[in-house]
Amino acid sequence: MSSPESDKNSLQGDAKTPEEINHEVGEILSEIYIDPEKEAAVLKKFDKFVLPVSVVFLVLSSLDQNNMGNARVFGFDKDIGLKDGQFGNITLLANVCTIVFEVPWVLAVKRFGANKPLGAALILWSFCTLGTAFIQTYHQAIAVRMLLNSFEAGLAQSFAYLFSTIYPPSLIGKRIMSTNLAMCISGAFGGLFAYAVQTMGTQRGLAAWRWLFIVEFCVTIFVGALGLLCLPKTAETAWFLNDEEKEIMRLKRDRDFLRRGEEKFERKWIKIALTDPFVYLLGIAFFTSSVSINGFNVFLPTILSGLGFPSLSVNYLTIPVYVLGLISLVIQVYFSDRISRRGVFIIGCCVPVVIGYLICVGSASGAAGYTGMFILVLGLYPISTLAVTWISINLQPDSKRAIGMPIAYSIANLSSLVSSQLYPSQQGPRYITGNAVSAGLTVVAGFLYASCWVLLKRRNQKKAKLLAEGATTNGLEGDMSLDTMYSL
């Protein structure tokens, strides 16, 4: 009996178009049977070994970003002589590096596997974190933070891509959720961590904010290195799988051939990804909604301080906000996966974000502003998780996904160039302009996400019409072919 691989090779030897080959390959590979219980057991192993590592890596990365806000409360601006707007410039230029290096990091994971690129990123950004503790001038701050963001750039997207090679679409959302789960954890416990460090005061001639980054470096290099040992190169060669389980993952890859494509990166998908309107429409939608996310994550301590809360209180007042955000994130992603719908949840999440920011705009009361943060966070984190999930399950195969996902994410991260300028200290304590812009762009985001839904809905309708007419191909490949339908 011939193997699926040999069947694919024989089909590729015929004088047929790529889409006809894919259609026939799909019919062959759909007959591959994998015991559901054994497959579920293998996926649980990835949950045990890989998922916690992603959370740890992302918590450490997010902690570093959030601690820049805490460092300002501790006197960062004054100690290195920052003037109005210069902190925003540091954040802006660092985020430019994030945008530039996102695609290369994901392609590195596709080319070399997960362990080597992500391991290198961890070590390099750890030493940049340490370097942050010893900066003395504005220009040193720019250089160190630009380097750090270059090394952290593709972290979230790389894990999202890795999960797309392991889990089926119906389960991937709960794993991609680890990105924002990490943000909530780092936000909550980062406040406690920062509070504890601040109580140290000046030690050995170093200000509290400098110790914040020194301690963070020690934690990152130790805990992250332990986590690095758990990362596999690929899903099919994971060190924690036995021979039977590795064979199950290889069969799973064959079975999912139409979604995954060839193991080797195919350059033709670069053009296909770059010319797919969905990549740009979702990226722009993600951009408009991410302004509020970036502003919230980086400037929440500054906002609370500006609303009149003392500096020591700021750190623990952020904790319940992040905890509520975590609860909302878990609930909405769970039900989104369960009913296989993304668009309606994303659009709905825009509503509390707008309401929360408008409360901050409309009232000078510190209590009202703090309440607005609780309302806002109900929708803040699910939006980005669901957006990344939406594009990861709708771009096929892996080669297209490795290009399209980070491109959309890079467009979204342009928002950091906007949000970094929205909360200059001279506009405190209410930051009316920043909060108003965040609210307005979230409204725009709701309409753009709705446009994404309409685009995919129309594509599905066209495919359904052709199939009803008896067509077997529409002359397209990957997710654009008749072999798949888009998830709405």
Q: How far apart are CA 406 and CA 155, in angstroms?
A: 10
Do 347 and 109 contact (CB within 8 A), yes or no? no
Check whether domain 35-259 has CATH 3.40.50.720, yes or no = no
pLDDT exceeds cutoff 50 at 461: yes
How many Å apart are CA 64 and CA 68, to the nearest integer?
7
Q: How many residues comprise the chain?
A: 488
Classified as helix, coil or strand, 117 is helix
pLDDT digits (tens, 9 = 90+) for 186-230: 766 776 777 777 777 677 768 888 888 888 888 888 877 777 777
CB count in 10 Å sphere of residue 285: 28
Cα torsion 58, 64, 70, 71 to 10°: value is: 180
Q: Using CA of residue 268, residue 452, residue 296, residue 414, what is the dihedral sign?
A: positive
Query: pLDDT tens, 266-297?
Result: 788 888 889 999 999 999 999 999 888 766 76
CA distance 35 to 52: 26
172: β partners: none
Nearest-angstrom CA–CA distance, 438 and 353? 9
What confidence score (pLDDT) does residue 7 get? Answer: 46
What residue has token string 């994410």? 409
In the chain, domain spans: 35-259, 272-487
Give the mean pLDDT of the chain: 81
Backbone dihedral region for residue 38 (phi beyond 0: left; psi -120 to 50: alpha; all else: beta)? alpha
Q: What is the pLDDT of residue 26?
A: 47
Residue-wise pLDDT for 38-86, tens only, equals 888 999 999 888 888 888 888 888 877 777 777 777 788 888 888 877 8
Q: Do domains 35-259 and 272-487 have the same CATH topology?
A: yes
Taking the chain, what is the end-to-end CA distance rounded to the nearest angstrom? 39
In the prediction, which pLDDT does 347 show? 94
- For residue 206, the cross-strand partners are 203
Q: Which two tokens stand for residue 365?
A: 């009361």
Q: Let me know if domain 272-487 sits in CATH 1.20.1250.20.
A: yes
- pTM attached to this predicted model: 0.77
Residue 388 has pLDDT above 70, yes or no: yes
Q: What contacts 7, CB < 8 A, 6 or more positions away? A: 25, 28
The residue-averaged pLDDT of 108-122 equals 86
What distance in Å separates the CA atoms of residue 5 and residue 2, rounded to the nearest whole number? 8
